[in-house]
Amino acid sequence: MGGVAQSRHTAVLLQPVVEKLAPYPGAVFCDLTLGAAGHFIEIARRLTPGGVAVGCDRDAEALERARMRIEAVSFDRVEIHLVKSDFGGLRGMMMRLGLEYADRILMDLGLSSDQLLDAGRGFSFQRDGSLDMRQDLDQDLTAADVVNGYAVDELERILREYGGERYAGQIAKAIESRRLQTPLRGTLELAELIAATVPSRRGRTHPATRAFQALRIEVGDELGQLRRCLPQAAELLSPGGRLAVITFHSLEDVVVKESLRPFGRRGGRTDWQLVRRGRVVRPDAAEVRGNPRSRSAKLRVYEKVRVEKAKTG
């Protein structure tokens, strides 16, 4: 599609993901957060011959950009499926494709640079745009709906729970006072209101950083999607299959650990378990210099093993 711009996103922890997932010829691979297809392409190359590569994204624009990149690459006898879907519907998506299992699954939970740099999407407080924050433009709920329509106590809860915002109460009340005069519509308008409400903070973090994170999580139901997806991913993995998850903040870390705990060594299963392979991987200094947005990334990789192997390993 000629009107779709080229991607400006850089895949995070690309080499560690490829090494830890260890794709092989004939494997079934699912990239549940396709983005710009950086991870997808490198892994799909290693599935030849006979492999299956599924790329999933709920952002139609991201999916089209990824399609253009993927179509420019030659894959020898690899079956490619690109699907517009949120990852919370993993099982249904697999069923529609006629796939009963996956050997390798990847989830990169970071926000795409393409979305951040597009002012019209409303994710950034550094560019003036509408208060949108939808990753899926087909959904109804926007950040403007949350800011202008939620009760003040619910706004406070979201800011505190999803953003860790210590001034959640003050910000929620300031939003309520402003919207009684006129609805909030722009990103800079909201960012300026927050900056004028909270005490000045030293350092490089903008006063609106946590509030914008909280609103994005609420609009996209990001943590709910993650809670729904992870158990499905665990069940759908083949024996010996691997799941890689890249997180970017502590809320995601907590959900990953809690959601996968029932499938771990102490989860009480008698048939198989998910065992983490190695330590958490972080980007090295060179990657952070080249891609500063990677600095908070953490990669965890889990393997599905039979209980007998888990007991003796």
For residue 40, the tally of other CB atoms under 10 A from its CB is 28
Cα–Cα distance, 129 to 84 (Å, whole number): 25
pLDDT of residue 112: 79
- HSE (side-chain half, CA atoms, 13 Å) at 201: 16
Provide CATH code, domain 121-220. 1.10.150.170
pLDDT of residue 116: 80
pLDDT class of 114 with cuts at 50, 70, 90: confident
> 6-15, 20-29, 70-79, 90-99: lowest mean pLDDT where?
6-15
| 121-220 shares the fold of 14-114+222-312 | no
pLDDT at 5 over 50: no
pLDDT at 237 over 70: yes
pLDDT of residue 127: 83
pLDDT at 171 over 90: yes
Instruction: Choose among 122, 115, 40: nearest CA to 80.
Output: 40
Provide CATH code, domain 14-114+222-312. 3.40.50.150
pLDDT at 302 over 70: yes
Q: Which residue has the tokens 């300031």?
A: 174
Long-range pairs, 159-165, Cβ under 8 A, ≥24: 159/210, 159/211, 159/214, 161/214, 162/213, 162/214, 162/217, 162/218, 162/223, 162/251, 163/210, 163/211, 163/212, 163/213, 163/214, 163/217, 164/210, 164/250, 165/210, 165/211, 165/214
pLDDT of residue 3: 44
Domain boundaries, the chain: 14-114+222-312, 121-220
pLDDT of residue 168: 98
pLDDT class of 265 with cuts at 50, 70, 90: confident
Distances (CA, A) of 65 to 3, 246, 311: 10, 21, 45
pLDDT class of 81 with cuts at 50, 70, 90: very high
The pLDDT of 83-110, averaged and rounded, is: 95
Q: Which residue has the tokens 């494997």?
A: 27
pLDDT at 177 over 80: yes
For residue 190, count CB atoms less than 10 angstroms from its CB and return exposed for 0-12, middle for 13-18, buried for 19 or more: buried
pLDDT at 313 over 50: no
Instruction: Choose among 94, 10, 100, 18: nearest CA to 56.
Output: 94
The pLDDT of 99-107, averaged and rounded, is: 98
pLDDT class of 7 with cuts at 50, 70, 90: low
Condensed to tens digits (0 to 9), the pLDDT of residues 285-298 reads 999 999 998 999 99
Q: What is the pTM of this model?
A: 0.92
Condensed to tens digits (0 to 9), the pLDDT of residues 117-161 reads 788 898 988 889 999 999 999 999 999 999 999 999 999 999 999
Instruction: Choose among 118, 94, 76: nearest CA to 32.
Output: 94
Contact 105, 237 (CB under 8 A): yes
